[in-house]
Structure 1
Amino acid sequence: MKKRYSHFIKPIQIVIDLFIINIITYFVYDKEYLNIFFLSYISGFWLITSYFFGFYEVYRYTITLQLLKLLVKQFLFFIFGYFAYFGIFREGAIVNNQFLILILTIIGISFVKLSWLFLLKTYRSFGNNFRTTIVIGFDDSSKNIIKLFKSKSNLGYKYLGFFSDKIYKDKEYLGNLDAVFEYATKHVVDEIYCSLTLLSNEQIKKINKFALDRDIFLKLIPNSSELYSKNQSIEYYDDSLMVLNVNKLPFDFAENFYLKRFFDILFSIFVCLFILSWLIPILWVIVKLESEGPLVFKQGREGLNGKEFTCYKFRSMRMNKQSNEIHAAKNDIRVTKVGAFLRKTSMDELPQFLNVLLGDMSVVGPRPHLETLSLEYQKDVDNYLKRHIVKPGITGLAQIGGYRGEIKKRSDIKNRVRLDIFYIENWSFFLDIKIILQTVLNIFRGEEKAY
C-alpha cells in the first residue's frame, strides 16, 4: 500500500507563509491604515506571484542555490506589488513601518523556507519520507543515477535494484525487462527510471502505459545527444545529472487539485441550497404518483482509482432487475413519463451534487461506469484505466462532445475515452467552466442521446 504524504508539504508551506505575512503586518503596520482589504491584497498578490513563478515547486532533488533563486525572484515581484498598493490606494498618505514590514517578511519567509529544506533533508537522511525506485537498463547514465540514490540519502530515495536483458551477478540485479511488470505489481514502487539508450520506443510506451495504470512516476534517463519533446520537463539531480520527467499531468500539481475541489464544494452547495432544496419535495410527489419505488435511485459505480462508490440519481425508471446491467436505450419501456422528462433535461443527475460534496465525484470529469460494463470496455479500449486517475464527473468533455448515454458501437466508447483522456491531460479551471456552460446550453437546446 502506497502512503504518499508529500502532497501535504506544499499546502502547509503556503499556510505558514501567509501566516507570517499577515501576523507581521498586523503587529507592525500603522493601525490607522490597517484593514482587511490590505491584508487580502498582499495575501492574494503573494499567492498569484508564487503560482506564476513556481515558488512552491520545490522537490526532493532541489538544491540550496535553486531555492535562493526562487526567493530572489519571488521577493522582487512581491516588493513591486507591495509598493504598488501604497501608490494606488494610499497615494499621498504617510504610512509608517512600510519598510520594516517588508524586511521582516523577507527575513521571516526566507528563514522558514531554508529551514524547511534543511529539516526535510535531515528527516529523509534518517530513512523517512522516501520514494522507492527501480532502474531499467544498466549503462553509464543508469549507474550515475544509482550512485546518486546510494550516496545521498537526504534526497529520500530508496533504491530497490535494476533490470536488464543482460544478466548480472550483482545482488541488485532483479531480472530481465519482462520481469519489471511482475516485480512492480508485487512490490511498492513509486518511481521507475528508464535508460533511453538501451530501450526501444515500443518498450518505453509499454512501460509508460504500465506506470500510468499503476500510478507510478516514470522518469527517463537521457543521453546527451537525444532530442526531447516539449511535453517532457527536464529535472537536474545534483547539479549536472539530468533526468526527463514524463507525463506530468495537471493534477500532479497540488494547487490544481485543491482549486478543483474548492470549486466543486462551492458549486455543489449552491445547487443543493437553491435547486435541490425545493425540487426534491416536488419530485417526490410526482414520481411517487406515477410509479412505486424510492425517489432517489442508488447504484454502484466505479470512481477514483477504480474504487466503487454509491452514485445517486432521481429514479427515472420503473423498478427492474436490469438496471445494474444495461444502460437505458431509445424508447426504453422501463423509463416512466416523468423519467423521460428528467433524462431529457438531465435533471435526473442532480442528486450527484451530493456525491460531489461527499468527495466521490467532481462536477466535471469522466462519467462513472458500471463495473460490469467497465470490464468489457477495458478489453476494447487502450488506456481505458487512465480515466480512473481522477474523480468521475456529473458532466464531462465527452458528454458535451456528443458521446453521452448509450454505447451502441465500439467507436462510441473509444471516442468517449479519447476525450476523457484529453481532458485529464489538458485540464484547466477555465476548461471546467467551459464544459459546465456548454452542458447548460445543451440542456436547453436538447440532446439527441438524452433518453
Structure 2
Amino acid sequence: MAEKSGSAQFAIENIGPDDRERLSVWARKLFFDWRGNASRPKLLFAVAAADVSSIVAAWPLSILLRDAPFVPSWTSFAATTLVALLTVGVLRQQWSYSVSSLRRFVPQVFKVLVSLAVVALGISGLAFLFDQKAVAPREVAAWMEVSAILLCVVRSVAACSIDRLTRAGLLVRRTVIVGGGKDADDLIRALKSDPTNHMQILGIFDDRQDERVSGSCADIARLGRFENLADFCRTAGVDLLIVTVPARAEERLMQILRKLFTLQVDIRVSALNSKLRFATRTLSFIGRVPMLAMMDKPLSDWDRVVKNVEDRVLGALLLLLAAPVMALVALAVRLDSKGPIFFRQKRYGFNNELIEVLKFRSMYVDQQDATGSKVVTRGDPRVTRVGRFIRRTSLDELPQLINVVKGQMSLVGPRPHATGSKAERDLFEDVVEGYFARHRVKPGVTGWAQINGWRGETDTREKLVRRVEHDLYYIDNWSVLFDLYIIALTPLSLATGKNAY
C-alpha cells in the first residue's frame, strides 16, 4: 500500500504545467458557463451522477466488507442502478438538488438518511410481497449504510466546493436593482448586511433624473435607463432582477414588468419599505428582505439538468434511428437540383440569441430566403420537387437533431423563427406583444403549437397569435411527461397536418 501511495504521489507531483493547464481548461469547459462562472445545472448534474455512482459502488463494497464473495453480473448492475435512480428521485422530492440546499451539510445528511430509509423499506417490502429471498434484509441494510457514508462524502465535497466557488465570486446570483432613490439605497444596505445572500449586485437601472435619485446609491453603479435593461441582462447573464418601484405605482410597475417578462431571469418586487401588510405565504425572502415573487425562470436549475439530459440522450438516439432516412433524403436533394444538401439559416434561439439552424435544402439555390422574409405558400415556385415532399412531411427538419445534440436546440420547445419572419407585412415581434418571451427556453424541433395544428406558414396575425399562445402555455407548464406526450403525438400531427408547403 505504501508503495502504491508513493507512486500516486510521485505521479501527481510530476504533472507538468502544460498538463495542469489542460486539466484546468477541461474542468472549466465542463463545469463553467460562457461567462466564466460556475454552471449551477452542471454542478447539480455532477452531484446527482456522483450519487448514482456511489449507490451502485456501495453494493459490491458492502459485500466485500462482510468478507463475502462478490460475483458481478449485468442483473445486479441494472438492479443497483435502478435503486440508485429511485434514491435520486426521493432526494429530489426533498429539494436536495439545489445550490442553496447543498450549501448546508447537516440538513443534507438528514435528507440522505431519510431517503435511504425510504428506499430500503421499499426494497424490503417488495421482497416480502414477492417472496424474494435472493437478497437478505441484512444485506440491504449493509448496502444502505455504505451508501449513506458515500453520499455524505459527496455532499461534504459539494458543500466545500460550493463554498470555495462562492468566495471566489464564481457561484453567486448576478443581481440588478430596477429603480433608484431611497428604496434602492435601503434595499442594497439590507442585502449587503446579510452574508447568506450569495449575490453580486451589478448595478442599478433607473429612468428618473430628478433629486429623488441618489448619486451614489450605496456605492453601486448606475448602469443606465430601463430601455437598456433587456440587452444588459442578456449580455451580462443576469440571474435576478429586484424591482424597487413601490407597488402603489401600479402603472409604472406594469410598464417595467412588460419589458422584463421576456427575460430568462427571476423577478422580485421589494416589499422592504412597503406599508402594506402582506400574508406571509404571498412573500418570498432573500435573506431577511421580504419580496413579492412576480416571475421565476421557466426552468429551475434542476429542471434544466433534466431537460438537457432528455435532449442529449433522446436526441442522440433519434439521430441514430433517423440516420438511414436522412441519408436517403440527402441523396434525393443532391439528385434533384444543384447545390448543397443542407440549408443553414440564422434564427432566434434561447435568450433571443441567434443560432444557425440546419435543414435539408428544399429550394433552388438562387431563390433561397436566408432571412425568411417571404412566407412559403402552396405551389411556391422557389421550392423544388423533392422540397415539396420533405417540407410537407417535415423531413427537411431532421438535421435539427444535430442542433439538439450540440445543445443549441431542444427536442420540444417553441419553433425557432427566422430573423425576418413576417405576418401580414409586420415583423413577428411587432404583431404580438411579449413575442420574445417564447425565447426564455431553447427552441424545439417540435412543440405544443405544432401538434395542435399551428405548424407551417404564419402569414396572418391570428396564426401567429395562436402559435405564441401555445408556446407560452408550454413554457409555463413544462414537464418531462409533457415533452414525451408531444414527441409521441408529433408523427400523428405530421401525418394529418395540412399547413406545411
Which range, TM-score by smaller chain?
0.7 to 0.9
Relative to 1, partners in 2 of residues 1:159 and 1:123: Cα closer, same or farther, differing over 3 Å?
same
Cα offset, 1:311, TM superposition = 2.5
Paired position in structure 2 for 1:225: 277
Q: Which residue of 1 aligns with 2:100?
A: 59
Q: Deviations over 1:412-448 (max 9, x none)?
A: 2222122112212211122222222332112222x23
1:142 CA drift (Å): 6.7
Aligned residue for 1:99?
141
* Equivalent of residue 352 in structure 1, options 400, 405, 411: 400
Task: Tell which deviates more after alignment, 97-106 or 428-437.
Answer: 97-106
The answer to whether the aligner puts 1:192 opposite 2:251 as a matched pair is no
Q: 1:170 to 1:23 in 2, by over 3 A?
A: same
Secondary structure of the residue aligned to 1:39 is helix
Equivalence for 2:309: 262
For 1:27, what is the secondary structure of its paired residue? Answer: helix
Secondary structure in 1 matching 2:83: helix
The amino acid of 2:241's aligned partner reads I
Instruction: Select between 132-141 and 404-413 the one with higher mean Cα deviation.
Output: 132-141
1:303 equivalenced with 2:355 (yes/no): no
CA contact (8 A) 2:358 2:400 kept: yes
SS in 1 for 2:442: coil
The AA in structure 2 aligned to 1:305 is N
Question: What is residue 46 of structure 2 aligned with on the other side?
Answer: 12
Which of 328, 332, 338 is the matching residue for 2:376? 328
Query: Is contact 2:178-2:243 (8 Å) kept?
Result: yes
Relative distance call for 1:432 and 1:185 in structure 2 (3 A) is closer
Contact 1:137 1:199 in 2 (8 A): no
**In 1, Cα distance between equivalents of 2:107 and 2:186:** 21
Taking the aligned partners of 2:290 and 2:108, their CA distance within structure 1 comes to: 18
Matched, 1:45 2:92: no
* Alpha carbons of structure 1 residues 126 and 442: separation in structure 2 relative to 1, 3 Å: closer
CA contact (8 A) 1:161 1:173 kept: no
* Same amino acid, percent of matched pairs: 23
* Residues 178 and 205, structure 2, Cα contact 8 Å, conserved in 1: yes
Q: How much has 1:372 moved relative to structure 2?
A: 1.9
Q: C-alpha distance in 1, partners of 2:300/2:179? A: 26
Give the match for residue 394 of structure 1.
Answer: 445
Give the Cα separation in 2 of the matches to 1:363 and 1:297.
19
1:205 to 1:32, Cα distance in 2 relative to 1, 3 A:
same
Q: Which residue of 2 aligns with 1:341?
A: 389
Q: Which residue of 2 aligns with 1:433?
A: 484
Residues 1:289 and 1:139: Cα distance change in structure 2 (over 3 Å): closer
Q: Does 1:443 align with 2:494?
A: yes
Q: Quote the offset at 1:110 in angstroms.
A: 3.5
Give the equivalent residue in structure 1 for 2:55.
Answer: 21
1:250–1:428: 8 Å Cα contact kept in structure 2? no
Gaps of 5+ in 2: 1-33
Partner of residue 25, structure 2 = none
The answer to whether the 8 A contact 2:270-2:289 is kept is: no
1:77: which partner in 2? 118
After TM superposition, the structure 1 = structure 2 runs for residues 175-254 of structure 1, keeping only pairs within 5 Å, are 179-182=225-228, 185=231, 188=236, 189-195=238-244, 197-198=246-247, 200-222=249-271, 225-226=277-278, 235-238=284-287, 241-254=289-302
Q: Secondary structure at the match of 2:420?
A: helix
Equivalent residue, structure 1, for 2:364: 318
Pairwise CA distance, 1:51: 2.5
TM-superposed CA distance for 1:32, in Å, is: 5.4
For the Cα contact (< 8 Å) 2:344–2:356, is it kept in 1? yes
TM-score (norm 1): 0.82
8 A Cα contact 1:45 1:81, kept in partner? no
Cα distance, 1:347 vs structure 2: 2.0
SS of aligned partner of 1:363: strand
1:100-125 Cα deviation digits (max 9, x unpaired): 43334334434543564355345534
CA distance in 1, matches of 2:229, 2:357: 35
Cα 1:66–1:168 shift into 2, 3 Å: farther
SS in 1 for 2:346: strand
Secondary structure of the corresponding residue to residue 371 of structure 1:
coil
Tell me, in whole angstroms, the C-alpha distance in 1 between the residues paired with 2:107 and 2:251.
35
Alignment map for 1:355-434 (pairs within 5 Å): 355-373=403-421, 376-434=427-485
Structure 1 residue 191 displacement after superposition: 2.0
Partners of 2:59 and 2:143 within 8 A in 1? yes
**Residue 246 and residue 278 in structure 1: after superposition, are their counterparts in 2 closer, same or farther (change >3 A)?**
same
* Cα distance, 1:108–1:243 mapped onto 2, change above 3 Å: farther
1:200 Cα deviation from its structure 2 partner: 3.3
Aligned residue for 1:158, secondary structure, equals strand
Distance in 2, Cα, partners of 1:399 & 1:297: 21
Count of residue correspondences: 444
- Does residue 1:130 correspond to 2:172, yes or no? yes
Q: Counterpart of 2:95 in 1: which secondary structure?
A: coil
The aligned residue for residue 13 of structure 2 is none
Unaligned runs of at least 5 residues, structure 1: none
Partner residue of 1:113 out of 155, 169, 184: 155
Q: Is contact 1:212–1:386 with CA below 8 Å preserved after alignment?
A: yes
Alignment of 1:151 onto 2:193: yes
Q: Deviations over 1:234-257 (max 9, x none)?
A: 54444x544344433442233x33
Distance 1:391 1:228 in 2: 34
Cα distance between partner residues in 1 of 2:331 and 2:215: 75
**CA contact 2:103–2:163 (8 Å) conserved in 1:** no
- Residues 139-174 of structure 1 deviation map (CA, whole Å, 9 limit, x = unaligned): 999777534532344542223556776334654277
For the Cα contact (< 8 Å) 1:125–1:154, is it kept in 2?
no
Secondary structure at the aligned position of 1:443 is classed as helix
TM-aligned CA distance change 1:348 to 1:138, over 3 Å:
closer
Query: How far off its partner does 1:85 sit?
Result: 5.5
Contact in 2 for aligned 1:362/1:391 (Cα 8 Å): yes
